[in-house]
Structures are given as structure tokens and as C-alpha cells.
């Protein structure tokens, strides 16, 4: 068996560089007949490039392309002690919540030339302990956690989206859950709903306890009684609507009267609507349903979902903005504080006024399955 090898040739003006030959700033500078400093200013986007004519910049970029110049990022980072990389920890890549937050993070970091190193921990205890250290060892300049518990004390800036651990030195971007509860419950009460079922979040989810406490407090203020038999908790670490479906089936099995359901998130609300339909109940005719988050598919579900919109992309951008300021050593930014953002009620077709006549009884065949 024969092996044919290409013989590299020396690049000449007007020709492409051999694909395996390393071309540095010196070679590009010799090619265009300029100083290495001038070429470095242009190719590295330094402030000194502002004084260089556009025609010269264009000539340098064309030469770099022809010679197949690639910056030696490892050498540069060792010299400058900068990697321009940020670590991001999320529970799931397939989770609509995390994906929208991550889009906001990436959009903001891209403007500053930073790269995201993203990993999902899937709520695994060992991964939650190990991954922050692994990212730190890979010299990320900061860390953003999304709906992720964080109790370590790494010597880098850390910003948490929807975290509630309150670790010293960590900045938190959190939702105004009191306002969210008020928006949802006042909307349902205004439609005449007094008997409301609830789907609580999983115990390991960062927002679950804060959101539930806010709901209970607001229900007391609005004189709405919460029947424990009409409360079900999501019981599994899964982004599937199946967990919401099972929670709704549990509520239906209680045989207690309710005309509305407020779900922990949109995914569980969509699963609950499936369970209600299979029990022979119409949404919103028999039961109004409110979700939470306003993920991409919420507006396209049947019926389109009324929900509490978290500004997820904006929360991601805000987290990245706060991290950039900490990395830059902004003296006006406290190292540890919380930034609260407000939600918005989005009214669609899954909620309606309570019917004057008695609601039809759910199908016992499906509810008892």
C-alpha cells in the first residue's frame, strides 16, 4: 500500500500558503512590507488599529487570508493571561428554559469576543461538584450558572441565573416571583375562578420554593383557598410534558372541584392539558390553564397557552453583562448582589371566564388509569 504525501512549498506573493505551514505575524508583515506591530494591531483588533488607513487594513487582511494565517491563541493567552472564555452550566440542553437563557448569554458575550464553554449536569451530584472545577481548570475567566445550585468558592467571577443559594461573592439574576404570582392569580380571579389547582416545581429546581411561597402568600392576600388535594408536585428530572401529565392525573384522581390550573412551567402545563383532554374536559371551557416561562412553543400549542413570561433571553444577556463588568474589574459593581427582573402576563386562549353551568365530570376511565 502506497502513501502519497504533498511536498509543502514556500508561499510567494500572490499565492496561497501551504496548508500545513505555520504562518505567524512576522511572515504576514514581511509579505505586506509593514512592521510586525502594525500587522498585530490590525489582526488582533487593537486600539492602535484605529490610526491605520482602511486600505492598509484591507491589504493586511487579504495577505493573512492568502497566507492562511491563524493566530496562536495558546501563546497569546499565556502571554496576556486571558482566554476570553466563559463557562456556562445548565441542567439540560433540550430544556426550552435553558436554551433561551443561553441564547441571551451567547449574544452578549459574542459582542466582546468571548466564547462560551457550555456543559449540562443533568442534576447529577458528582457533575455539579466536578464541572465548575473542570471549567476553572480550563482557565475560563468567569462562570454563569443557569437554574443550577452552586456552593463552591472558585477565584473567578460567578453569576447565577435563577439561583437562590446566596453564596458569598456570587451575583444573582432572579425573577420577581411575588409579581408573577400576583399577575397569574389576579388574572384567574378576575375570570371568576375560586377553585384553582396547582402544579409545583421539582424540589431540586432553583425557583420551585420561591415561586410556591409567593403563590401561597398572594393567595392569602386575594382570599383564595389552596386545597392541598389540588396541589401536585412534579416528581422527575425530565424536560418532557409527561411529568406535568402525571401531576394533572393525580389532581383529577382527587375528585375535587376546580376550574383553573396554574402550572410550574409551560412544559408541565402542556402535559396537564393533555390529561384534562383525556379526562373529557375542555380547555378553557371546563378548566383554564396558566403556564410559566413563555417558551417558544407556548404560543403554538392548542389552545395557545396563557402564561407568565420570564424575560429569559434578557436574563441571559444581563447575566453576561454583569459577568463582563466583574471580569473588567468595574469599581461600580458590587461583587455579590441580586438583580431582580419583572415578569409579564401573556394572555392567550387557554384561560376564560368560569362557565355559569356546572362543569362536566371528568372521565373516570382515564383518571383512574
What does the pLDDT look like over 330-366, one tens digit per residue? 765 655 588 999 999 999 999 999 987 555 556 545 5
Query: Out of 59-73, 74-88, 112-126, 139-153, which region has the weakest mean confidence (pLDDT)?
Result: 74-88
Q: What's the mean pLDDT in 240-250? A: 95
Secondary structure class of 174 (helix, strand, coil) = strand
Domain 25-71 sits in CATH at 1.10.260
CATH 3.40.50.2300 at 82-175+313-341, yes or no: yes
- pLDDT value, residue 237: 76
Of all residues in the chain, what percent carry a pLDDT higher than 90?
Answer: 55
- pLDDT value, residue 362: 64
What does the pLDDT look like over 97-108, one tens digit per residue? 888 999 999 999
Which is nearest to 150 in space by CA: 88, 108, 103?
Answer: 88
Q: What's the mean pLDDT in 52-64? A: 89
Average of per-residue pLDDT values in the chain? 85
Secondary structure class of 195 (helix, strand, coil) = coil
Model confidence at 67, pLDDT cuts 50, 70, 90, reads confident
- pLDDT value, residue 14: 44
Do the domains at 82-175+313-341 and 177-310+346-367 have one common CATH topology?
yes
Which is nearest to 175 in space by CA: 69, 63, 71, 264?
Answer: 264
Query: Which superfamily does 177-310+346-367 belong to?
Result: Response regulator (3.40.50.2300)
* pTM given for the model: 0.74
Q: Tell me if 247 sits within 8 A of 270, measured CB to CB.
A: no
Domain ranges of the chain: 25-71, 82-175+313-341, 177-310+346-367
CA distances from 73 to 19, 78, 81, 345 (A): 18, 8, 11, 46
Amino acid at each position: 500500500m502506497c502513501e502519497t504525501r504533498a511536498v509543502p512549498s514556500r508561499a510567494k506573493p500572490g499565492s496561497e500558503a501551504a496548508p500545513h505551514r505555520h504562518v505567524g505575524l512576522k511572515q504576514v508583515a514581511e509579505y505586506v512590507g509593514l512592521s510586525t506591530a502594525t500587522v498585530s494591531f490590525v489582526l488582533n483588533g487593537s486600539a492602535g488599529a484605529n490610526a491605520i488607513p482602511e486600505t492598509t487594513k484591507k491589504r493586511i487582511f487579504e495577505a493573512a487570508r492568502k497566507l492562511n494565517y491563524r493566530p496562536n491563541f495558546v501563546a497569546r493567552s499565556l502571554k496576556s493571561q486571558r482566554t476570553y472564555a466563559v463557562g456556562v452550566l445548565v441542567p439540560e440542553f433540550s430544556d426550552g428554559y435553558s436554551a433561551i437563557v443561553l441564547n441571551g448569554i451567547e449574544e452578549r458575550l459574542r459582542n466582546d469576543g468571548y466564547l462560551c464553554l457550555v456543559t449540562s449536569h443533568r442534576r447529577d451530584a458528582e457533575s455539579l461538584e466536578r464541572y465548575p472545577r473542570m471549567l476553572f481548570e480550563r482557565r475560563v475567566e468567569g462562570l454563569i450558572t443557569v437554574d443550577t445550585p452552586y456552593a463552591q468558592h472558585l477565584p473567578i467571577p460567578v453569576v447565577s441565573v435563577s439561583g437562590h443559594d446566596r453564596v458569598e461573592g456570587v451575583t444573582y439574576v432572579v425573577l420577581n416571583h411575588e409579581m408573577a404570582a400576583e399577575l397569574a392569580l389576579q388574572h384567574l380571579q378576575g375570570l371568576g375562578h375560586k377553585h384553582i389547582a396547582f402544579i409545583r416545581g421539582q424540589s431540586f429546581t432553583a425557583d420551585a420554593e420561591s415561586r410556591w411561597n409567593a403563590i401561597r402568600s398572594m393567595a392569602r392576600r386575594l382570599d383564595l383557598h389552596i386545597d392541598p388535594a389540588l396541589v401536585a408536585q412534579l416528581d422527575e428530572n425530565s424536560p418532557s410534558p409527561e411529568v406535568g401529565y402525571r401531576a394533572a392525573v393525580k389532581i383529577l384522581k382527587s375528585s375535587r372541584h376546580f376550574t383553573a390550573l396554574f402550572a410550574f412551567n409551560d412544559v408541565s402545563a402542556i402535559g396537564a392539558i393533555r390529561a384534562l383532554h383525556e379526562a373529557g374536559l375542555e380547555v378553557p371551557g371546563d378548566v383554564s390553564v396558566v403556564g410559566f416561562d413563555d417558551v417558544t412553543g407556548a404560543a403554538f400549542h392548542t389552545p395557545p397557552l396563557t402564561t407568565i413570561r420570564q424575560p429569559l433571553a434578557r436574563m441571559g444577556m444581563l447575566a453576561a453583562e454583569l459577568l463582563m463588568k466583574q471580569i473588567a474589574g468595574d469599581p461600580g459593581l458590587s461583587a455579590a448582589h441580586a438583580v431582580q427582573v419583572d415578569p409579564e402576563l401573556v394572555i392567550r386562549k387557554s384561560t376564560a371566564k368560569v362557565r355559569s353551568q356546572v362543569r362536566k365530570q371528568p372521565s373516570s376511565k382515564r383518571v383512574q388509569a
